[in-house]
């Protein structure tokens, strides 16, 4: 933990409501986006996030600081989201996070194809261009691509979906992802590469068509 996080933890343990409000403000939207990867509706995701915050409050004194506070909070979320997903019959067993090889020859998705995933901006490298009032055609294309990306992401297996989301949408480091999901670095790397490869394969024809349409304008 950093000195800043240590001070925040002390404040939280003292029951500092302002400190807790800052923590919620910093992570709530991201928690909700991640929860939504596991469960069937936004309403259920909200319930999972609320349950996560209760778990954070109850677990503050047990937190030992062996990871960042952020990673600890998201691990609580992932555990609760997986439990809820079992009830919703949308779960992936932990064994699905294992991979059969550290090497994967498939090409990965280029960050040049970046667009935002939803209307709530996330900090990852695939945040797309801002709306351009002078170019409604560009805005329409960006919206279409965003919708296409959402469809493709939703179709990924859960183990690939969560890794690519945390790395490329939320902008997490590989270490943070490994800690939150309790997986090895090698597995994380392979899962990320496979997810990007599937995205590239699914989007390639669409992107070519979009570029061709733009060139004819």
Q: Would the CATH topology of 3-91 be identical to that of 99-216?
A: no
Which CATH class, in words, describes the domain spanning 3-91?
Answer: mainly alpha
Q: Give the domain ranges of the chain.
A: 3-91, 99-216
CATH placement of domain 99-216 = 1.10.10.10
Give pTM, 2 decimals.
0.70
135 pLDDT higher than 70: no
215 band by pLDDT with thresholds 50, 70 and 90: low
DSSP the chain: --HHHHHHHHHHHTT-HHHHHHHHHHHHHHHHHHHHHHSS-HHHHHHHHHHHHHHHHHHTTT---SS-HHHHHHHHHHHHHHHHHHHTT----GGGG--S-S---SPPPPGGG---SSSS--SSTT--PPP-TT-HHHHHHHHHHHHHHHHHHHHS-HHHHHHHIIIIIS---HHHHHHHHT--HHHHHHHHHHHHHHHHHHHHHHHHHHHHHHHH-
214 band by pLDDT with thresholds 50, 70 and 90: low
């Amino acid at each position: 933990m950093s000195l800043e996080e240590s001070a925040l933890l002390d404040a939280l343990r003292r029951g500092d409501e302002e400190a807790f409000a800052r923590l919620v403000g910093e992570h709530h939207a991201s928690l909700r986006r991640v929860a939504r990867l596991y469960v069937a509706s936004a309403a259920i995701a909200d319930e999972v996030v609320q349950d996560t915050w209760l778990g954070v409050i109850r677990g503050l004194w047990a937190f030992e600081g062996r990871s960042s506070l952020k990673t600890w909070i998201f691990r609580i979320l992932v555990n609760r989201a997986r439990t809820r997903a079992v009830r919703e019959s949308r779960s992936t067993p932990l064994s699905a996070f294992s991979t059969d090889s550290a090497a994967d020859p498939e090409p990965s998705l280029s960050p040049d194809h970046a667009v935002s995933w939803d209307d709530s901006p996330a900090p990852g490298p695939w945040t797309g261009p801002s709306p351009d009032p002078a170019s409604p055609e560009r805005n329409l294309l960006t919206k279409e691509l965003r919708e296409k990306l959402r469809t493709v992401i939703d179709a990924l297996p859960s183990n690939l979906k969560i890794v690519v989301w945390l790395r490329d949408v939320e902008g997490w480091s590989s270490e943070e992802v490994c800690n939150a999901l309790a997986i090895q670095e090698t597995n994380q790397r392979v899962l990320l590469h496979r997810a990007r490869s599937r995205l590239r394969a699914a989007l390639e024809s669409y992107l070519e068509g979009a570029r061709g349409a733009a060139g004819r304008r």
